[in-house]
Amino acid sequence: MRVPVKLLGFGFWLFSFNFAQCQECLRENMKYADIVPVGKASYADGETVRVNCVAGYTGLYKLKCEKGEWKKSIERPCAKKKCGHPGDTQNGDFKLTEGTEFVFGATVVYTCKKGYEMASRINQRTCRAQGWDNAVPVCEVVKCPAISTDGEVTVSGNTEEGRYGDVIHFECVSSDKMIDGSSDIQCEETGKWSDVVPKCKDITCIAPVIPNGYVVEPQPKYPKDATLKYKCNKRFKPKEGIPKCAKFGWTLKPECDEVTCELKSTTFGVKKTNPYGKTIFRAGESVEITCSEKYWFFFTKEKSRSFTCKDNGQWDYEPVCAEITCEYPRDRHVSRPYYWGTMKLGEKQSYSCVSGYRKTAAEATCTQDGWTPKPLCAEIMCDLPKIPNAEILGSQNSNYKINSRIQYKCRSGFEPEESVQITCDSQGKWRGIQQCTAMCAAPKIKNAEIVGSQNSNYKINSRIQYKCRSGFEPEEPPVQITCNPQGQWTGIQQCTGMLQLIDILRTIVHVKVNAKLWYATLTCKSLLTWANKQSLRTT
C-alpha cells in the first residue's frame, strides 16, 4: 500500500515542477535591441527585472514575468547617445564620414581651406560614450620664403614672411628701365612664389601678333614712346586709341574686335525675342523683337519687327521697346492742352474745349492710337428740333450751327397761330421755342346759342357765354364756359326741354290714398328724364 502512495506523491511533485517551469520567463525571450544581458537565464512568475542599454546607448526597460511572458512596466527603447556639435575649426571645414547624425559611433573628418594646412596630428573626431574624442583640429596659413632683390629693383609687400595670397610688387628704380619678368608674384598654396624675382632692363616693345589684323610697317623693336600702327580685317574693328610703347609694354593692347551689335534690353518692355536669349549679334545677323502690351517701337509705332546688325556695328534701327505714351494733343479746339504733359497708356485726363466746341467724352484716354475719343472736341450744333404739333418752314437740315435761325408754325387748332423764329445758342440748344398748345374749337351745345361774336377757335382760358333756346332750361342767366389747357370747354350745362305733364305721363306706377293726400310715382317716356326727380302730389 505504501508503494502506490509514494508513486502518487512523486507524480504530483513532477506535475508541480513542470507547471512551475511553464510559468517562468526566459532571458532569451527578451527581444530588445542594444540591451545588456540580464544576470539570470530565467525568472519566476511575478519577478521583475531592470534591463539597461549597452554602452553608448540611452534607454531603460523594466519587465515583469507574468505566466511565462515578459510584460513592460517601463519602456524607453535604447537609442544612440547624442554628442552635440563637434565644433568648427577656423579656416577649415568638416563632414560626417560615418552615420548621418552626431550620435554614438559617428565620425567627422576635418579639412583645411585652400591656402591653409593641417597643424594638428589627428584630423578627425568620433562620438564615444563619453562624448567627442580628440580636440578640434587646427588649420594654419601656408607661408612662402623671404624675398631679396638687387639695387635696381624696389619691392613692396610682405617680403620677410609671405603668407598664402600675399602679393609682392616690383618696380625699377630708373624710369627708363622696365621689369624683365613678372612685376607681381603671389604666395601660392604650395608654399612657393608664383615666379622668380625679376631684374630691370631698357624699355622696348616688340610688334605683337594681332588676331584678325596686322601691323603696318612692323619693326623688330620699338623704343620707349614709339607708336604702333595696325589695321583689322573686314568685319573687325580696332580698339579706340593709339598703342604707345611704355614701361609696362604697349599702353593700349592692339586688338581687333569682331564687329557686333549688342541687344542691350531683353526684358524691359519685351515680350519675346527670336532667337531667344541671344544678346550679341554679328554683322548681318538679325533679331525679331515683340514688345509687351504697353510698349512699342517709338519710331515706327509697331509692336513687332526685325532688326539687323550692320557692318559698322550699329543696328539699322534702335531695338528698344519704349513705353507707349501720349504727348499733349495737337488739337486747336482743346483748351490749353500744353498743360497735360506726357502720359502713359491707359491714363486719363480731364479737359475742356474752346468756345463753340463741346467735349465728346468726360475724359481723354491715352491709347496706342493716341488720345481718344477722336475728335476730343466737336463743334457745338443743334439737332433738328422736334416740336409737337408744329411744322418747320423752309428747307430742313439734320443739324444746325450756332446762331442759325429757323421758323416753324403750329398746326391748325394750336397756338401760337403766327410763325415762330428760334435760334441755335452756344450750348447747342434752341432758344425761343414756344410750344404749340391746343385751342378750343367753337362749342356745339344742342339747343343753345352763343352770346356775342363767335370764332372757330378759342385760346386757352378764353371765356364765352351761351343761352338755351326758348323752351329749354336753364333759362336765366346765360351760362359761362372756359377753355382749359387741354383744349376742352369746362362748365357746360346741357339745355333740357320743358314739356306739359299730360304729354309725358305714361304710367302711374303706384297710388296711395290716405285721408288728405294722393301721390303717384311717374316714369318718363323714352329719351326724356325728369329734371327734378320728385313725386307728384295733390291735396
For the chain, the structural domain boundaries read 2-80, 92-141, 143-202, 205-258, 260-323, 326-379, 381-438, 440-497, 501-538
What is the average per-residue pLDDT within 22-45? 81
Tell me what pLDDT residue 527 has.
Answer: 43
Neighbours of 396 (CB within 10 A): 10
Q: What is the DSSP letter of 509?
A: E
Residue burial 469-490, b: 16+ Cβ < 10 Å; e: rest = eeebeeeeeebebbbeeebebe
pTM score: 0.36
Tell me what pLDDT residue 290 has.
Answer: 93
In the predicted structure, residue 281 carries a pLDDT above the cut 70 = yes
What is the average per-residue pLDDT within 445-458? 83
Average pLDDT over all residues of the chain: 84
Rounded CA gap, 424 and 397, in Å?
13
In the predicted structure, residue 138 carries a pLDDT above the cut 80 = yes
Superfamily of domain 205-258: Complement Module, domain 1 (2.10.70.10)
- Assigned fold of 2-80: Complement Module; domain 1 (2.10.70)
Class of the CATH domain delimited by 92-141: mainly beta
Half-sphere exposure of 153 (CA within 13 A, CB side): 21
What is the average per-residue pLDDT within 57-79? 85
Q: Do 2-80 and 205-258 share a fold?
A: yes
CATH number of 326-379: 2.10.70.10
Tell me what pLDDT residue 6 has.
Answer: 52
Tell me what pLDDT residue 475 has.
Answer: 76
Q: What is the 3-state secondary structure (H, E, C) of 186-225?
A: EECCCCCECCCCCEEEECEECCCCCCCEEECCCCCCEECC
In the predicted structure, residue 414 carries a pLDDT above the cut 50 = yes
Judge: domain 440-497, CATH 3.30.420.40: no
What is the average per-residue pLDDT within 320-337? 87
CA distances from 388 to 44, 428, 435 (A): 123, 19, 7
CA distances from 335 to 331, 350, 363, 403 (A): 9, 11, 13, 22
Neighbours of 265 (CB within 10 A): 13
Tell me what pLDDT residue 521 has.
Answer: 52
Per-residue pLDDT tens digits for 214-225 = 999 999 999 999
In contact, 42 and 25? CB cutoff 8 Å: yes
Class of the CATH domain delimited by 143-202: mainly beta
CA distances from 322 to 89, 297, 301, 367 (A): 55, 6, 10, 14
Give the containing element (helix H, strand E) for 13.
Answer: helix 2-23
In the predicted structure, residue 110 carries a pLDDT above the cut 80 = yes
If one compares 21 and 303, the residue with the highest pLDDT of the two is 303
Confidence band, pLDDT 50/70/90 cuts, at residue 538? very low
Class of the CATH domain delimited by 381-438: mainly beta
Confidence band, pLDDT 50/70/90 cuts, at residue 503? very low
Q: Which amino acid is at 273?
A: T
Weakest-pLDDT range from 22-36, 212-226, 450-464: 22-36
What is the Cα 21 distance to its own chain's centre?
Answer: 82
Given 3.50.50.60, 3.30.470.20, 2.60.40.3500, 2.10.70.10, which CATH number is that of 260-323? 2.10.70.10
Confidence band, pLDDT 50/70/90 cuts, at residue 456? confident
Weakest-pLDDT range from 194-208, 228-242, 261-275: 261-275
